[in-house]
Amino acid sequence: MTMQIYLVAGLNGGGGRSLTAALLAYGLHLQDRPTILVRQTYHGLLSTIEPLEATLPVTCCELMLPAPYALPSDLSAGLATMIHSADARFVTALREMAMAEVGKDGHVVVDLCCNERAANAATMRDASMVLIPARASVLEIDWAVRTFARARDVQRYRDIAVPTLIATIVPDSGRTHQIDVLGRMLRDCDPHRELLPGEPREVAIEVPFLDESTLMTLFDERSIWQNPLLSAQCRAFATAAAVRADAFMLMLAEDDGDL
Ligand SMILES: Nc1ncnc2c1ncn2[C@@H]1O[C@H](COP(=O)(O)OP(=O)(O)O)[C@@H](O)[C@H]1O
Ligand SMILES: [Mg+2]
Ligand 1 site residues, Cβ closer than 6 angstroms:
10, 13-19, 135, 169, 207-210, 215
Per-residue pLDDT tens for 1-49? 689 999 999 999 999 999 999 999 999 999 999 999 999 999 877 666 7
Question: Domains (ranges, CATH) in the chain?
Answer: 4-258 (3.40.50.300)
What residue owns the CA closest to ligand 1's atom 4? 210
Pick the ligand that lies closest to the CA of residue 50: 2
What residue owns the CA closest to ligand 1's atom 23? 14
Q: For 198-224, b where at least 16 C-beta lie within 10 A, e where not — what string? A: eebeebbbbbbbbeeeeeebbeeeeeb
- Number of Cβ within 10 Å of residue 149's Cβ equals 18
The residue-averaged pLDDT of 65-70 equals 94
Expressed in angstroms and rounded, the spacing between residue 18 Cα and the centre of ligand 2 is 4
pLDDT score of 223 more than 60: yes
